[in-house]
Structure 1
Amino acid sequence: FHKENIVTTQIKKSKKRENQACAKLGGEFWEKSGRDIFVITVYPLKKDNTGRSKMKTRQNSSKVSLAICLLLFQMVLMACNPLSSWSEPVITGIVTEGLKKSPLENVNIRILNSGFKTKTGKNGHFKLPFVPGNFNIIFEGTGLVPKAVPLSLTSKSNYPMGEITLYQFPPLIDMYRNPIEGVEISVQQASYDSQGALLSKSTSNSKGLSLIEYSKGDLALTAKKSGYKNRTIVINTERPQELSNSQWLLPPEKPGLYYRTTYLKKADFNFIKKKMVGMMIPAYYDGTYIVNGEPEVLEAKDVLTLYWVPEHGATLGENPFASKGGTFIYKVSSDGTFVIYDDGVSKGAKIDTFKINTVYNEVDGAFGGLVQQKVQIYQIDLRLPVGQYALFQGGGNSLDREPHPEKELGCWYFKIVDNKK
């Protein structure tokens, strides 16, 4: 202050004493406003012999002690009663998992188009500040289907929201059912014949899970990673329970045969066509099939598991023999012969003692359309003795008596060895 005529009474202005939360203590003015206490000390200025203004100091330990006591008392009141009239109102509740009904921790909760946000604790409970009005509360979490809950609150008081249920999102897995880390997930508005605008992106963690941001309506989620086929699933955030029994599996990019995550190379074979005998015309695929090259070496086990991804063209149809019944395994003889066809019927050491299960059988093409591609994965469990074998995907057409090897499809040539000996 640089004028002598400033006095405490000027600060009071024209307000009545009873409407002011203050008290005049000598040259000090106290005011309570909201959560804070302001202490304003006013001292008149005194001129020294040089004509300069000099602040008059005054020691009053009792007043200082009183100020400190009042301030500490106010802080204690705030700590003991954080939801007093000085606090913002809050929305409270608990977030649980849809099927197990267990509490969910670290769920992100926010009011759409605002800065209000919070997270659930270990017990699934949350407190979310708000300003009265109409708004949507968004619930999002890693591995969870996002959810929006509309509210219309007019009172500036606490609101108990109760229990909020979220459903688990299927993890990204490979055909061995292992989670896939580092998959980029793009979220778009789902459309029958085109891709909608990009809404958000995320990346899967070591458990194959990601944080999907909320958007209203049908959403197309496309997963991409090198070495895998792109896979799109369509979800509706209003019907999350539809995902409870589904899986999000990424097929390998290359069709073929796999053993212990290893891609087995295809083998070529020679076809020696059967000669015509008399007037009898043999079937066009009658003859001897001889495999070329060196076999892939596989270790003998009680159960040898292979994963077969058949080839399909991107057409209206599909290979009719790419099925459980179109998988053939024959023992390879010392000269490389694995099967002979005569009069359209196979002859050879055919292996029938294997089990085949469908791992994946869907159409690749999330947005519909006429041109789509079939994607299939079969798990083949074998119990085979030591020896050499050929596996092929049956080809031909519906008029043939039996499916048979085809040059463009090739075959797989492998040798089972016993490393224990």
Structure 2
Amino acid sequence: MAQADMSLGRLGLSELAPGVVQSEIRAMSVACDAMGGVNLAQGVCDTEVPGVVAEGAIRAIRDGLNIYTRLDGIARLRKAIAAKAERTLGLVVDPEREVLVTSGTTGGLQATVMALLNPGDEVLLFEPLYGYHVSTLKSVRVVPVPVALVGEDWALDIDAVRAAITPKTRAMIINTPSNPAGKVFTRVELEGLASIAEEFDLFIFTDEIYEHFIYGGAKHVSPAVIPGMRERMILMSGFSKTFSVTGWRIGYLIADAKWIGAIGYFHDLTYVCAPAPLQQGVADGVEQLGADFYEGLAKEHEVKRGLIVDALRDAGMKPHIPDGAYYVLASAESLPGATAAEKARALLAKTGVASVAGSAFFYQEAGRPRKGEDLLRFCFAKRDEDLAEACRRLRALGR
């Protein structure tokens, strides 16, 4: 019997799949684990989980709160999120109609783009950018359009934003504080973007997951508080970073009630609901942890920022000082390698410290000059002893 020629059959990958590879962030984490190094690549945030959060989740499991929740999340958590939004942002939110608990901020964005965008639509992003935002858009065949931030402080060029808009533009994604640059968009910058959104009738999607990691004189402003933005705003955030529970996947979004139904439908279709007992633990944290917790979090990470910045300077790798989040982009010009990925692997081989190629945070496509090849990103949301060891190893480069 002749063997069937499967190459002529209908089996095969989707149009998207051939270009899909493991993210550089995860690839560096795997390489670091293989050699037992210090992982400053992935933002795993392995600092201590607040006791009230951990104990709340354990208690919920033992109390049998392990079944599906409503697709929009448990009432306690939605009410706590609404109260927090009013307390920290001055934003009045209806927890029954305008809050959706999601499987991380990533799950919230996936459901949002499925509900509100169509194939061929264009979305503006600000570069350096978070690669998962790009990949999420591409997964539903929406076109990412990068707009470069400029200078040492990653300033917004409002003229460049306006020039990037076409008849296909439907939305912009604002990540503030940003991953990887730690940029905190100013109120003036956000007002400029809000004006453009109104003029061209665009949605604004925000990723505000690092809202409590703010340093120096910087201040987090959500675009949702700018007059006229509530109807077109999808505010996304979560608790992965704030409570050091990145593996729990508890996020949320706040939006006008007219959008919540469709977004909730697609989130339910993909995730059903965020993990039930973990929602209970996070609700305990949001209800019980006050301003002193969030202020302490920022102060603790500002100290960590200082440690990694000083170590990078001593290593001869000039850092961009972040105003928020918990990453530092630093110059890799002194390291061997033709690309940032090669430089990151050379650094790992020499010091055992994992970083991420800066090129992972720029939109790379055929015919467009490659960017970020002389940058590496370092995460400083680490246990004190691990961060101290990483800094010691980095300093050895400068000797």
Task: Give the TM-score normalised by the residue count of structure 1.
Answer: 0.18
Q: Greater share of strand residues, 1 or 2?
A: 1
Task: Give the TM-score normalised by the residue count of structure 2.
Answer: 0.19
- Which protein shows a greater Rg? 1
Q: Greater share of helix residues, 1 or 2?
A: 2
